Amino acid sequence: MGLPDLEDRTLLAAVERALDGGDAVTQTDRDGTWTLAEAYERSLRLAGGLGVRADRPVALLLDNSLDAVHVWLGVVLTGGVEVPVNTAYKGAFLAHVLRDCGADTLVVEAHYLDRLARVADEVPALRTVVVRGPVPEDALPPGRFRVVSLDDLDAPASPVRRGPGDLHAIMYTSGTTGLSKGVLIPHAHAYTYASREHQERPHRGDRALVTLPVFHLAGQWYGVYQSLIHAIPCVLEPGFSVTGFWPTVREHGITVTVLLGAMAELLAQRAPAPDDADNPLELAIMAPLASDVGTFRQRFGVDLAAVYGMSEIGAVLDGPPETVVGGEAGFPREGYDLRLVDVDGRDVGAGEIGELLVRPQVPHTVMAGYHGRPEETARVVRDGWLHTGDAFRTDDAGRFFFCDRMKDALRRRGENISSFEVERTVNEHPAIYESAVVAVPSALTEDEIKVVVVPQPDATVDPAELIAFLVDRLPYFMVPRYVEVADALPKTPTHKVQKNLLRDAGVGPATWDREAAGIRVTRHG
C-alpha cells in the first residue's frame, strides 16, 4: 500500500477513483443520503451556479452539512479555491478573513447574516452573498450585495483538471495573539494530509463518522476527504455530542472515526455503562492520543491510532494501533524529514524537548506559504525546514510526544516543563473539566507555575486537595505553586486558550498560593 504518484494527488483524481466504488460510496447527513455519483453531479451544478473561476477564492461560512461539503467539492473540482471560515468568527475576526482572502463571493448560513451586516463596510471586495436557508427581511444593507439563495444555484459546469501544486484552499490559522494567517494549500498537500493509504485502515467496508467541523482541516480532510480517498461511506454530524456519539455510531454502523483527545477524555468521563463495548466502532484515530490507551480500548472495545498534523505541514506523524502508547503523537511518516532542535538550532536527543522542524521530500506536500505575507513565510521556512513552533520529545523507540507550544513551555528549578503534560494530569482529577498552565514570575528568576482550572458542573475544587492529587502523579518540580478557579478559560474563536491573557493576569487576589498555605513540595514528597 502507499500513496499514488504526485500527479494523482488532487481532489478530482480522488473523486474519479472513488466513483469506481459505485453506489456503495455514500454521503449521509441528517437531511438524507447521496450516492457519490449524485453528490458529484450536484457539486458541479452548484459550482456552475456560483460561477466559479479558476484560481479565484470563494469563502464559505457554513455549518456541518452535505450542502457545505458539496459547495466545497464544487468550488475545488471546477478550479476554484475554497476559503472555509470558522463559524465562530464575527466582528474583526470575520472581517479580516473575508478582506484578506480577497473573495468576491461568500456562501453563508442565513443565521450568520447579522454578522456579515455588521462588517459589510469593511469587506469592499465582497459582492455576492449566497445564502443557505431563508433570508430574513432587511438582513443585509440594501443594495450592498447581490443576494442569491443556495437553492437557486443550478447550472452546468465541467470539472477542471488541476496539478498537485495548484491551489486547493486558503486555510486560516488562528494564533492566540495576532491576526489569522491564510495558509496556501496546494492540492497535493490537502490530499497527502487526508490520505491513510500507507496504513491498514480505513479500507473498503468501513463506514466513517465525521463530528469535527468541516471548516477545519481535521473534519474536512481527515474526515470527509479521507472517506473519498478510501471510497467508503461517510456520515456527517452537525457536531460532537458526548451523549449522542455512541447512539450515532450504533445507528449508522460506524467502524472508523477521528477524535480530538479532548473528545476521548469527555467520553471516558461518563459513568460506565454495561453496553459500552457493544458498538461497531473498530478504530478511533486521535490527536493527541488518549492518555490511558488501555482503559479506553478495553472499555469501549475500540482500537486507537495516533496522528499529528497542522495546516502548514500536513499530517507528518502517525502511529498504527498495534504500537501505540498513551499520549504519543506517532512515528515520522514517510515523505517527510523531521528534526527536534533546541533554541540554538542544535538537534536534541531522545527524551529532550525540542522544536519540531519539517522538510518535505515530495514537492507541494506542505504549505506554499502564507497568503500575502512573504516576511512571515520567510520567518517560518528557513533553509527548506518549516519551523512548527511545537515542542516535542521522542522516546528510545522513536515515538514522538507532543509537549507544548514553544512559547508556552516553562522552566523551573533548572527543569524544562511541558504545560501540556501538567494540564493532562490536572484534568485527570474528577472535579476538573479543563485547565490551563502558565508561567508567572518567580523571585528566583525562573518561572513559577500557575494553573487555572474550570470545575466540572456542580463540582467544587479544593486547591489543597488538588495539590495533594498532583503530588502523587507529577515530578515535584511540575507541581503548580498557584491555583486559580475560573468559570471559563479565555479562548479564541477557534477555541485555543489565550494563555497570553492568563500570563498577563499573573497572581491576583483570587489566586491561591500553596506556599502561603504552608504546603511545600520537595524532591522526596
Pairing type for strands 331-332 and 336-341 reads unpaired
C-alpha torsion 82→83→87→88, nearest 10: 160
Q: Are residues 382 and 273 in the same domain?
A: yes
Q: Average the pLDDT over each of 15-29, 201-215, 284-298 and give the range with the smallest value.
A: 284-298
CA distance 145 to 126: 8
Structural domain boundaries enclosing 502: 415-513
pLDDT at res. 524: 59
Q: Are residues 52 and 20 in the same domain?
A: yes
Is the pTM value of this prediction over 0.85?
yes
Q: In the chain, how long is the greatest CA-to-CA distance?
A: 75
Q: Are residues 146 and 115 in the same domain?
A: yes
| Residue 290 reports pLDDT greater than 80 | no
Question: Would you say residue 98 lies in a domain?
Answer: yes
- The angle at the Cα of 249, spanning 428 to 191, to the nearest 5 degrees, equals 90
Reported as a pLDDT band with limits 50, 70 and 90, residue 414 is low
**Structurally, how many domains does the chain consist of?**
3
Question: Would you say residue 521 lies in a domain?
Answer: no
pLDDT at res. 102: 97
| Residue 493 reports pLDDT greater than 80 | no
Task: Write down the residue that cell numbers 461568500 correspond to.
Answer: 106
Question: Would you say residue 205 lies in a domain?
Answer: no
pLDDT at res. 506: 92
Q: Are residues 14 and 140 in the same domain?
A: yes
- In this prediction, residues 288-305 reach a mean pLDDT of 90
pLDDT at res. 360: 98
Q: Are residues 298 and 399 in the same domain?
A: yes
- In this prediction, residues 55-81 reach a mean pLDDT of 98
Q: Are residues 121 and 51 in the same domain?
A: yes
- In this prediction, residues 308-332 reach a mean pLDDT of 93
Of 405, 435, 465, which closes a domain?
A: 405
Percentage above 90 pLDDT, the chain: 80
Question: Would you say residue 36 lies in a domain?
Answer: yes
CA nearest to 338, candidates 374, 390, 378, 300: 390
Question: Would you say residue 222 lies in a domain?
Answer: no
CA nearest to 80, candidates 99, 107, 62: 107
Of 405, 424, 449, which closes a domain?
A: 405
The 10s digit of each residue's pLDDT in 208-267 is 999 999 999 999 999 999 999 999 999 999 999 999 999 999 999 999 999 988 788 889
Question: Would you say residue 306 lies in a domain?
Answer: yes
| Residue 1 reports pLDDT greater than 90 | no
Q: What is the CATH number of the domain that holds 159?
A: 3.40.50.980
Question: Would you say residue 198 lies in a domain?
Answer: no
pLDDT at res. 476: 85
Q: How many helices, marked H, and strands, marked E, lie in the chain?
A: 15, 28
Question: Would you say residue 429 lies in a domain?
Answer: yes
- In this prediction, residues 401-427 reach a mean pLDDT of 81
**Mean pLDDT (the chain, rounded):** 93
DSSP string, 32-56: EEEEHHHHHHHHHHHHHHHT--TT-
CA distance 171 to 367: 10
Q: What is the CATH number of the domain that holds 428?
A: 3.30.300.30
Q: Average the pLDDT over each of 32-46, 176-190, 277-291, 427-441 and give the range with the smallest value.
A: 176-190
CA nearest to 167, candidates 227, 41, 83, 259: 83
Q: Are residues 441 and 383 in the same domain?
A: no
- In this prediction, residues 100-114 reach a mean pLDDT of 97
**Beta carbons within 8 Å of 397's beta carbon, 6+ residues apart:** none
- In this prediction, residues 90-95 reach a mean pLDDT of 88
pLDDT at res. 177: 54
| Residue 304 reports pLDDT greater than 80 | yes
Q: Are residues 448 and 391 in the same domain?
A: no
pLDDT at res. 446: 67
Q: Are residues 76 and 33 in the same domain?
A: yes
| Residue 412 reports pLDDT greater than 80 | no
Of 142, 170, 186, which closes a domain?
A: 186
| Residue 445 reports pLDDT greater than 60 | no
| Residue 413 reports pLDDT greater than 80 | no
Q: Are residues 401 and 422 in the same domain?
A: no
- In this prediction, residues 40-58 reach a mean pLDDT of 98
| Residue 447 reports pLDDT greater than 90 | no
CA distance 252 to 20: 23
Q: What is the CATH number of the domain that holds 245?
A: 3.40.50.12780
Q: Are residues 395 and 437 in the same domain?
A: no
Q: Are residues 96 and 26 in the same domain?
A: yes
